[in-house]
Amino acid sequence: MREEIKIISPEELAVQQAFAQKVLLHPERPKTYYIVTYGCQMNAHDSEKLAGMLQNMGMTPAADRREADFVLHNTCCIRDNAERKALGNVTWLKEIKKERPHMLIGVCGCMIQQKVMAEKLLSQYPFIDVAFGTGNLYRLPEYLYEAITTHERIIRVDPNASTLVENLPVCRDHPLKSYITVMYGCNNFCSYCIVPYVRGRERSRAADDIVREAESLVASGAKEIMLLGQNVNSYGTDNENGISFAKLLHRVSQTGIERIRFMTSHPKDLSDELIDEMAHNSVIAPHLHLPVQAGNNRILEAMNRRYTREHYLEKVRKLRAAMPHLGLTTDLIVAFPGETEEEFLDTVSLVEEVRYDSAYTFIYSPRTGTRAAEMPGRIDPEVASNRIERLIAVQERITGEILESMTGQVVLALIEGTSRRRDWQLTGKTERNININFSGSEADIGKIIPVRVTGHGSNTLRGQKEED
Ligand code: SAH
Ligand code: SF4
Ligand code: F3S
């Protein structure tokens, strides 16, 4: 699938800014908004841009979606359940709209970028007022203007998702921990995955733009930056003047930011240069999310992952040799078409061998248009559930053992706020990205402080602030 990468010019953005002004001045414009976000961090960050644009049009966030004038669903289509959840919520809102007919319902994001889904929405969900895909997110002001002036449904999906836009307004959810997208899209075409179809080709932002964004975040008080991309390890390779991801990390680490994380790394592109940068740069958190997906070579090949179990384990060995305290996490898929019990057990044994801090586990979900969806050998849902349960049990045991081994250690935690369950408890994230709760004073929120680990729950640590 060839797609042109389209860089959105300042003039095109100015056109959108003019639409934003017209919406702002329009008497029938929505006054409040509510964004419902599904999916990955990249989608969460897109929602921050959508919020930025809506605020630019004079709208304020509503506390509850039932009271909002404009409810926008930023959707995900990675698995069937992500789509069903979004459609369920949209349908639920239909009832609310009956009582508040001026309410506008919007749907955008990855789900809409699929042609079949856009057509389904058009025919089966007539109460949706505005819909647009991932590539034309920046045109929200124009679409909203059309919707409020024509009172017609605005469904705009450009088949090319490969746009690159700079300088959209952003309204950040977490002032302490900020996202920066360093590259968009994915060229890997893992056989099960829909992302390359709905997010377009890989396109890296210019390093100078990223560094400038990091500097402005530092100036406004950010402590941690997470650099985002579907495969950050191929950052810069689509661009003649591009620098490597390791060099980009180095540059961002010199902006004065206290901690950097990044997601996601594809194992096949994990370079020695990156391992070296991580090992020698104390600003980069010693945590790596390195999705393996499966532990069996036949399955890895059918998934088009382009590494073997042995290559993967060799990378893990190198990482651990360079950084003995590195926390590794992963993504795992069970019940890929044709997966036998023995092949599944190879995934279990790999998990035992690597000993991840934690893992996201998924049952394979066929996605229309991907190669795996055409493969024979669908696994019976009961077998699939049984496999995922066994895999989760193994990972839970390992997580427990790792957390137990941390008791007595002093970790550096970025204190993010008070615990949702108990107000007197502070909650933070360790360098390895593990949640830690401890009692302390709210004055510590926003600081990175040493905390001694005193115990743990199933996936969080408990601790006590170290007195200096
Ligand atoms: N770009 C990232 C992750 C993208 S999606 C990467 O390459 O690692 C996040 C995770 O969803 C994937 O790592 C994979 O484990 C899972 N996933 C993707 N497509 C899936 C599908 N069709 N069924 C089940 N899980 C899937
Ligand atoms: Fe999907 Fe593979 Fe790209 Fe990740 S690397 S987004 S799993 S195609
Ligand atoms: Fe979902 Fe799109 Fe992210 S499909 S996982 S929201 S890139």
Q: Provide residues with CB under 6 Å of ligand 3.
A: 39-40, 42-43, 76-78, 110, 194-195, 198-199
Query: Could you tell me if the CB of 232 is within 6 A of ligand 1?
Result: no
What confidence tens digit (pLDDT) does each residue in 175-200 have?
A: 889 999 999 999 999 999 999 999 99
**Mean pLDDT, all residues of the chain:** 95
User: Which residue from 104, 108, 116 is spatially nearest to 139, judged by alpha carbons?
Assistant: 108
Q: Can you give the pLDDT at residue 118?
A: 85
* Spatial CB neighbours of 302, under 8 Å, sequence gap ≥ 6: 191, 336, 337, 338, 372, 375
- Measured over the CA atoms of residue 13, residue 15, residue 18 and residue 24, the dihedral's sign is negative
Q: Which long-range contacts (CB under 8 A, 24 or more apart) does 211-220 make?
A: 211/251, 211/252, 211/255, 213/180, 214/180, 214/252, 214/255, 214/257, 215/255, 215/256, 217/178, 217/180, 217/257, 218/255, 218/256, 218/257, 220/175
Is the predicted pLDDT of residue 468 greater than 80, yes or no? no
CA atoms of 76 and 38, how far apart (whole Å): 6
Phi–psi pair at 94, nearest 5 degrees = -55, -40
Give the mean model confidence (pLDDT) for residues 412-422: 85
What confidence tens digit (pLDDT) does each residue in 60-119 have?
A: 999 999 999 999 999 999 999 999 999 999 999 999 999 999 999 999 999 999 988 888
Q: Please, how many CA atoms are within 13 Å of residue 10, restricted to the half-sphere of its CB?
A: 0
Reported as a pLDDT band with limits 50, 70 and 90, residue 422 is low
Q: Can you give the pLDDT at residue 400?
A: 97
Q: How far is CA 185 from CA 43, 213, 231, in A?
A: 12, 20, 8
User: Which residue from 197, 193, 182 is spatially nearest to 239, judged by alpha carbons?
Assistant: 182
Q: Can you give the pLDDT at residue 172?
A: 92
- Measured over the CA atoms of residue 333, residue 337, residue 343 and residue 345, the dihedral's sign is positive
Q: Can you give the pLDDT at residue 442?
A: 85
Find the 258 Cα to ligand 2 centroid distance in Å: 29
CA atoms of 378 and 365, how far apart (whole Å): 10
Q: Can you give the pLDDT at residue 467?
A: 76
Which ligand is the nearest neighbour of the Cα of 76? 3
Query: Could you tell me if the CB of 292 is within 6 A of ligand 2?
Result: no
Q: How many residues does the chain have?
A: 468
Are 318 and 275 spatial neighbours (Cβ–Cβ below 8 Å)? Answer: yes
DSSP code string of 15-68: HHHHHHHHHHH-TTS-SEEEEEE-SSHHHHHHHHHHHHHHHHTT-EE-SSGGG-
Reported as a pLDDT band with limits 50, 70 and 90, residue 328 is very high
Give the mean model confidence (pLDDT) for residues 304-333: 98
Which ligand is the nearest neighbour of the Cα of 230? 1
Among 198, 232, 365, the mutation site with the greatest number of ligand 3 atoms within 8 A of its Cβ is 198
Atom number in ligand 2 closest to CA 186: 3
Cβ atoms within 10 Å, residue 424: 10
Query: Could you tell me if the CB of 193 is within 6 A of ligand 1?
Result: yes
What confidence tens digit (pLDDT) does each residue in 217-265 have?
A: 999 999 999 999 999 999 999 888 899 999 999 999 999 999 999 999 9
% of the chain at pLDDT higher than 70: 99
Is the predicted pLDDT of residue 2 greater than 70, yes or no? no
Query: Could you tell me if the CB of 78 is within 6 A of ligand 1?
Result: yes
Atom number in ligand 1 closest to CA 188: 7
Find the 82 Cα to ligand 3 centroid distance in Å: 9
Among 245, 333, 375, the mutation site with the greatest number of ligand 1 atoms within 8 A of its Cβ is 333
Atom number in ligand 3 closest to CA 42: 3
Query: Could you tell me if the CB of 110 is within 6 A of ligand 2?
Result: no
Atom number in ligand 2 closest to CA 196: 8
Domains plus CATH for the chain? 6-163 (3.40.50.12160), 174-285 (3.30.750.210), 288-405 (3.30.750.200), 410-465 (2.40.50)
Query: Could you tell me if the CB of 336 is within 6 A of ligand 1?
Result: no
Query: Could you tell me if the CB of 185 is within 6 A of ligand 2?
Result: no
Query: Could you tell me if the CB of 195 is within 6 A of ligand 2?
Result: yes
Find the 299 Cα to ligand 1 centroid distance in Å: 15
Longest dimension (CA), the chain: 65
Residues in a beta bridge with 178:
225
Position 11: which residue type?
E
279's tokens: 């090992």
CA atoms of 146 and 154, how far apart (whole Å): 7
Q: How far is CA 229 from CA 5, 33, 202, 350, 448, in A?
A: 16, 27, 9, 26, 26
| Helix or strand (DSSP H, E) at 160 | none
Find the 463 Cα to ligand 2 centroid distance in Å: 37
Reported as a pLDDT band with limits 50, 70 and 90, residue 424 is low
- Let me know if 394 is exposed, middle or buried by CB neighbors in 10 A (0-12, 13-18, 19+): middle
Find the 235 Cα to ligand 1 centroid distance in Å: 19
Residue identifier of the C-alpha nearest atom 4 of ligand 1: 230
CA atoms of 197 and 191, how far apart (whole Å): 11
Are 437 and 417 spatial neighbours (Cβ–Cβ below 8 Å)? Answer: no
3-state secondary structure of 359: strand
* Spatial CB neighbours of 336, under 8 Å, sequence gap ≥ 6: 192, 294, 299, 302, 303, 364, 372, 379
Is the predicted pLDDT of residue 9 greater than 90, yes or no? yes
Atom number in ligand 2 closest to CA 187: 3
